[in-house]
Structure 1
Amino acid sequence: MRANLRKGHALSQLRTLLPSRADYRGLRKSWRADLVAGLTVGIVALPLALAFGVSSGAGAEAGLITAIVAGLVAAVFGGSNVQVSGPTGAMVVVLAPIVAAHGVGAVAVVSIMAGIIVLAAGIVRLGRAVSYIPWPVIEGFTAGIGVIIFLQQVPAAVGVEGTGHSTNAVVAAFQSIGEASWPGALLPIGAVLAVAAIMLLSGRISAALPASFIAIVVVSLIAVLTQLPLDTIGALPQSLPAPSLPALSPELLASLTGPALAVAALAAIESLLSARVAATLADTGQVNADRELVGQGLASLASGLFGGMPATGAIARTAVNVRSGAKTRLSSVIHSLVLMLVVLAAASVVAQVPLAALSGVLMMTAARMVSLSTMKRVGRSGRSSTAVFAITLFVTVAFDLVIAVFIGLAVAAFFALRALSRLSGAHRRELPGDPEPGDERIALFQIEGSLFFGAADRLVDEITNEPGVEVVILQLSALQFIDATGANALSELVGALEQRGVTVLLKGIRPEHRPMLQKLGAIDALRHPNHLFSDLDPALAHARSHIARSADLT
């Protein structure tokens, strides 16, 4: 019977990770809005897919394949009704060093490996983990990505090949500027500035205009009509390639395990953050975090089989989708179909787009990721938040994205524990009632807050440094939390006081704390089992009897 119940529960849990009719509830009313939103976000996604593919080193074709295949799979299997997935700037930042170290062929392999990892994370229900990432870490991470994306576009912006440069974006940007052919480099720089100006002007006219698409079209037309000597995207396929498994070997898989884990972590974090942001923009249904991981894992897996890149939920495109009126997954599906139509009918036209124009789009995208207003909000939230933000940003730019998240988490945890330990401690209280002879040799301490590894040593110091005390009453009823380190410190404290001849009485142990204190010897360290009390009055009476007997003996 129990086996059948467990099996039924497992099947019901599995169903929550799979598509259902409920995904398209209300489609009869919303299909027009979904269609318009899908067309809009498809137009917006086109230049970004091309640009991210080129910037990663995998090529514009890989960017388009990812937007089409991964976008479609994630739309059907993901956990958000409005999430738009595809290549993103954060993923480009991780992929560029992988391409430099292992070649373009490694991208598809990493995509498949990372997809399997993210899929497994969804199946084992790790989706809620992203909710534990503090806000300053997220903002520092996002700003750092923006800085890196901007710097990665410098080589194309000055007309220099990005190959042969350092994998660090800061170093590579300075190398490119030094290698640029001046004044010839002013031409691609002019294309970048033209794209930026058109995007800014379009945004001021109407936020609904696809600014990046308009800028790409205008600059590309000018370049073609005037025959400007600008490097272009080049030939693109006019159909999707057939799915196939890339060449694998034990040595290659071993060398790509680390990069695949980093890509998987980034894909999971960015996708869940994007879905969470989308849920705050409009009432488009709840987000199933575990199913989102399943969908993103399948998306990267499928993308790799078609020769694409790892995919994530794209915050900017998802926001466009929501603001364009999307209600169901149909809009994200339409977005992929629009891009597919571009491949089938307009590949030769897209091939004429200047690389400098794509760099301009990404530079503007990056500039928007580094928000001055957000930095001011972080600064106003306190020194610890500012430190977490700054450290995360610095490590992201100088070292590695995934490492930056973990270091940011560690720094945030340090400040949180420090603040928590300051709220914890032992405070000496006045004895209740009228004073009696010998009360000066009784110390009543109330232990408050959380007694954990960050506060245990300080508590021991506060209580043991009390001269002339013969009986110590420890009130534990206000203790909210205690971990193994805190319980062990309390045990050592009781033992140390008893060895010095000080009688310890424990008052008000909470039922949930008693097993931990019992296991680690805090209760056994008492001189007598009767030194445990539920109320303060009996404990104080017992303490005074000890003082009285001590006075009689002297």
Structure 2
Amino acid sequence: MSPRTAALRDLLPRRSDYDLRPRTLRADLLAGVTVGVVALPLALAFGVSSGIGAAAGLVTAVVAGVVAAVLGGSHHQVSGPTGAMAVVLAPVVATHGPGSVALVTVLAGVVVLVAGVARLGRVVTYVPWPVVEGFTLGIACIIFLQQVPAAVGVPADPGHNTLVTALAALGTAASAGTLAPALWALGCVALVAVTMLLLPRLHPGIPASLVAVVLVTALVEAVGAPVARIGALPASLPAPVLPSVTPGALRELGGAALAIAALAAIESLLSARVAASMAQAGSPGGSVYQPDRELVGQGLASVASGLFGGMPATGAIARTAVNVRSGARTRLAAVVHALVILAVIYLATGPVSRIPLAALAGVLMVTSLRMTSARTARAVLGAGRSSAATFAVTAFVTVAFDLVQAIEIGVVVAAFFALRAVARASGVHRDPLPGPAQPGDEHVALFRLEGSMFFGAAERVLTEVTDASVHDDVVVVVLRLSQLRMVDATGAKALGELVEGLEARGVTVLVKGVQERHRALLTNVGALAELRHENHLFDSLDAAVEHARSHVRRAAQGTDVPQVRGLRPSA
């Protein structure tokens, strides 16, 4: 089998994805039903929150849930509509209308699919932990703010910043002629929140969100409360339809599709990694995930979702965690979760259509509060100023500006602090000469370069060595490079400039300990060529120091040392 064929097979489903032994099959069925019950109110809520409607949330949970489970790279991942995707999709719907969602979903899916085929699945490992937590906190804030209009019984005004929309909704509710709709909506939210917070304390296996929604819906129906409902839902899955593709639509939605694809890839890979860690903790050695195959599966899931009128799909961390904790063994559990929601579409759309929007708002508000724990926030803030700054900047940009930009800016900030730390850990030290002191040693300077000689530290190292060499009547400089961990092109060029500058001032430069991994770069940029003689390159420190002392002795014969700065001793 050729390497290309083997690589392609790694991206495809296989028989080993499933275990149909009775015990495993039973565990997967029970876990799938549990996750399906938990996912139902979230699918409805995220569909409404995105601006497309509850039906799109259900379709996404079913279609994308099955496709991602079968074709994805995780045994435990549960995919569907998520809060982050609802947040990034809402402005698209407000600007281009609900009809644009099908095309942008398919386009985003194709981008994610191509990323998987191109083997870009490991890119998520370059997203630092403070960025992930800051992004999660920002998403939680946005989800909470998005629910404020429904929580006070006021229609949301799309197309604006979520904080502005929330404040406007509060003002509209306060200035209304009657407070009855707002009070009823707030009562629904409060009852949902209390139920979701108290039921898990009685028994952790109770699907608190579903019980809360059922309880509030029954109460509202019984008293005939004036609250907005989900409304009519389709009683079956819609037929797949290819979205209309025109050059104008591609220009308008191309940027949004790339942003959605980036978010889908990052969120799915993070969720899959969390699932693998949780499953491995419960059964060491029992779970891994394939990031490239996961991107392929998620890309195809979004394409399928768009064809059926759904929204972009990603791995859902909360539902995936429930799946793992419920004892799921294989991806069959995620398939069963989607089938449970499909059964609701065909058998229970009537009752589901009567669910108050305020009840779904309450579910998402509680969910957003659980997304980031105070313990995690304290851990990030206590990890140092750089981690705290990265966390805060990422969270702020997520809420105030854009989700994908938040990740990009967060990574840049984290990279800046990391480079600064590496630069501070890199430097130059003047060491005493080994062995007994000899006359003329004060005119030999031994510099030890350590850490990384890169663009962040090169200028400082060059300046320190040059200043010490020029002002201390130094005749020979020995540069120890054996402790340099990394040298980049800027660092190599700076070393060449250092040697050239010292030699031009009459200071002989000897280099000791060039590592083989750095030799090619130093040679290619001409740093070693600046040495006066090829014999000025040493592997032994003692040999380099003895050669330096011989230079001083020859230069000082018959001449005061301060006057020999212009001499050019031979090798």
Q: Which whole-Å CA distance do the structure 2 matches of 1:159 and 1:365 have between them?
A: 20
Cα deviation for residue 254 of structure 1 reads 1.0
Q: Give the match's secondary structure for 1:99.
A: helix
**Structure 2: which amino acid aligns with 1:415?**
F
Q: Aligned runs of 1:187-202 on 2, under 5 Å?
A: 187-202=184-199
Contact 1:96 1:167 (C-alpha < 8 Å) held by counterparts = no
Q: Which whole-Å CA distance do the structure 2 matches of 1:29 and 1:364 have between them?
A: 35
Q: Give the match's secondary structure for 2:511.
A: strand
Q: Which whole-Å CA distance do the structure 1 matches of 2:184 and 2:207 have between them?
A: 25
Contact 1:453 1:486 (C-alpha < 8 Å) held by counterparts = yes
Q: Which residue of 2 aligns with 1:355?
A: 357
Provide TM-score, normalisation by structure 1: 0.97
Q: Aligned runs of 1:114-263 on 2, under 5 Å?
A: 114-163=108-157, 165-180=158-173, 181=176, 183-184=179-180, 185-263=182-260
Q: Which whole-Å CA distance do the structure 2 matches of 1:553 and 1:148 have between them?
A: 81
Q: Aligned runs of 1:288-367 on 2, under 5 Å?
A: 288-367=290-369
Contact 1:119 1:295 (C-alpha < 8 Å) held by counterparts = yes
Cα deviation for residue 432 of structure 1 reads 0.3
Provide TM-score, normalisation by structure 2: 0.95
Q: Which whole-Å CA distance do the structure 2 matches of 1:168 and 1:207 have between them?
A: 36
Q: Which residue of 2 aligns with 1:431?
A: 433
Contact 2:85 2:264 (C-alpha < 8 Å) held by counterparts = yes
Q: Which whole-Å CA distance do the structure 1 matches of 2:506 and 2:91 have between them?
A: 65
Q: Which whole-Å CA distance do the structure 1 matches of 2:311 and 2:159 have between them?
A: 22
Q: Aligned runs of 1:373-388 on 2, under 5 Å?
A: 373-388=375-390
Q: Aligned runs of 1:337-486 on 2, under 5 Å?
A: 337-466=339-468, 467=471, 468-486=473-491
Contact 2:94 2:159 (C-alpha < 8 Å) held by counterparts = no
Q: Give the match's secondary structure for 1:448.
A: strand
Cα distance per residue 1:142-167 (max 9 Å; x no partner): 0110000000001111111113x552
Select 2:539's aligned residue among 534, 542, 545.
Answer: 534
Structure 1 window deviating more from structure 2 (18-27 vs 186-195): it is: 18-27
Percent identical across equivalent pairs?
60
Cα deviation for residue 29 of structure 1 reads 3.0
Cα deviation for residue 27 of structure 1 reads 4.3
Q: Which whole-Å CA distance do the structure 2 matches of 1:246 and 1:159 have between them?
A: 34
Cα distance per residue 1:177-220 (max 9 Å; x no partner): 11123523111011111100111111211221111100000000
Q: Which whole-Å CA distance do the structure 2 matches of 1:546 and 1:375 have between them?
A: 61
Q: Give the match's secondary structure for 2:529.
A: coil
Q: 5+ residue gaps in structure 2?
A: 281-285, 560-571
Contact 2:273 2:289 (C-alpha < 8 Å) held by counterparts = yes
Select 2:63's aligned residue among 55, 66, 69.
Answer: 69
Contact 2:95 2:159 (C-alpha < 8 Å) held by counterparts = no
Cα distance per residue 1:278-309 (max 9 Å; x no partner): 11112352100100000000000000000100
Q: 5+ residue gaps in structure 1?
A: none
1:56 pairs with 2:53: no
Q: Which residue of 1 aligns with 2:496?
A: 491
Contact 2:32 2:335 (C-alpha < 8 Å) held by counterparts = yes
Cα distance per residue 1:505-535 (max 9 Å; x no partner): 1101001101100111110111111110111
Q: Give the match's secondary structure for 1:477.
A: strand
Tell me: CA distance 1:91–1:537, structure 2 relative to 1, closer, same or farther (3 Å): same
1:47 pairs with 2:41: yes
Count of residues paired in the alignment: 547
Q: Which whole-Å CA distance do the structure 2 matches of 1:419 and 1:446 have between them?
A: 19
Q: Give the match's secondary structure for 1:33.
A: helix
**Structure 1: which amino acid aligns with 2:123?**
A
Q: Which residue of 2 aligns with 1:507?
A: 512
Select 1:522's aligned residue among 527, 535, 540.
Answer: 527
Q: Give the match's secondary structure for 1:167.
A: coil
Q: Which whole-Å CA distance do the structure 1 matches of 2:199 and 2:558 have between them?
A: 93
Q: Which residue of 1 aligns with 2:98?
A: 104
Q: Which whole-Å CA distance do the structure 2 matches of 1:513 and 1:27 have between them?
A: 56
**Structure 2: which amino acid aligns with 1:206?**
H
Q: Which whole-Å CA distance do the structure 2 matches of 1:431 and 1:197 have between them?
A: 74
Q: Give the match's secondary structure for 1:478.
A: strand
Q: Which whole-Å CA distance do the structure 1 matches of 2:66 and 2:513 have between them?
A: 59
Cα distance per residue 1:370-422 (max 9 Å; x no partner): 32111111122111111110111011001011100011101111111111111
Q: Which residue of 2 aligns with 1:91?
A: 85
Q: Give the match's secondary structure for 1:172.
A: helix
Tell me: CA distance 1:27–1:458, structure 2 relative to 1, closer, same or farther (3 Å): farther
Q: Which residue of 2 aligns with 1:32?
A: 26
Cα distance per residue 1:128-149 (max 9 Å; x no partner): 1101111111000001100000
Q: Which whole-Å CA distance do the structure 2 matches of 1:536 and 1:201 have between them?
A: 71
Q: Which whole-Å CA distance do the structure 1 matches of 2:108 and 2:13 have between them?
A: 22
Contact 1:27 1:328 (C-alpha < 8 Å) held by counterparts = no
Cα deviation for residue 26 of structure 1 reads 5.7
Contact 1:143 1:371 (C-alpha < 8 Å) held by counterparts = no
1:113 pairs with 2:107: yes
Q: Give the match's secondary structure for 2:249.
A: helix
Q: Which whole-Å CA distance do the structure 2 matches of 1:237 and 1:247 have between them?
A: 22
**Structure 2: which amino acid aligns with 1:183?**
L
Q: Give the match's secondary structure for 1:309.
A: coil
